[in-house]
């Protein structure tokens, strides 16, 4: 190859290599905090609005694994949960402990503890059952964290 072509080639390659990169990636610490907050809001909305608050956080094609079986889709999930959130039923409470994100920060999961509590006649409440859960989250087209998959299990003594 002639010297002037080599110089031209090296110049072009240098410009390509020195061009702007893809930019900084997502701030994973901030996104992790946002995901934990989304899970906390999920709990608050469910406490305030029952099955409607529960189902609203799911993606339209979300999936839930109750103790038996599988429920597909936001509306089917809402219908399945209506009896569970009846006023006379124990309340479901949970708190996320950990959030893990993929590198693109649009898919992640939360791990936490849940409990079922009943109000006592004299005040306070009593824990009837408790366990662990994992919720897989995905950002929707608007950038809102939504539940893609939810599953939990009970502690052996529950």
CATH of the domain at 104: 3.10.450.50
pLDDT of residue 13: 45
What six digits make up the tokens of 46? 């469910």
Please indicate, yes or no, if residue 18 is contained in any of the structural domains.
Answer: no
Percentage of the chain lying above the pLDDT 70 cut: 85
What lies within 8 Å, CB to CB, of 60 at 6+ separation is 73, 74
Closest CA to 92 of 60, 150, 145, 50: 50
* Residue 129 lies in domain: 27-154
Please indicate, yes or no, if residue 15 is contained in any of the structural domains.
Answer: no
pTM (whole model) above 0.75: yes
Measured between alpha carbons, how far is 90 from 112 in angstroms, rounded to an integer? 19
Please indicate, yes or no, if residue 130 is contained in any of the structural domains.
Answer: yes
Q: Sign of dihedral through CA atoms 31, 36, 37, 42?
A: positive
Closest CA to 84 of 135, 59, 50, 108: 50
Element (H, E) at 156: none
Longest dimension (CA), the chain: 94
Measured between alpha carbons, how far is 130 from 152 in angstroms, rounded to an integer? 10
pLDDT digits (tens, 9 = 90+) for 92-140: 999 999 999 999 999 999 999 999 999 888 878 899 999 999 999 999 9
How many domains in the chain?
1
């Amino acid at each position: 190859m002639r010297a002037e072509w080599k110089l031209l080639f090296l110049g072009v390659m240098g410009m390509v290599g020195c061009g702007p990169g893809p930019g900084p990636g997502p701030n994973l610490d901030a996104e992790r905090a946002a995901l934990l907050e989304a899970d906390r809001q999920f709990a608050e909305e469910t406490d305030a609005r029952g099955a409607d608050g529960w189902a609203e956080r799911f993606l339209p094609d979300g999936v839930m694994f109750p103790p038996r079986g599988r429920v597909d889709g936001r509306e089917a999930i809402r219908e399945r949960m209506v009896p569970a959130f009846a006023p006379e039923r124990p309340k479901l409470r949970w708190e996320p402990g950990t959030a893990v994100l993929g590198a693109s920060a649009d898919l992640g999961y939360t791990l936490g503890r849940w409990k079922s509590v009943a109000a006592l006649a004299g005040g306070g409440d009593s824990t009837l059952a408790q366990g662990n859960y994992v919720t897989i989250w995905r950002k929707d087209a608007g950038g809102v964290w939504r539940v893609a998959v939810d599953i939990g299990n009970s502690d052996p003594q529950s």
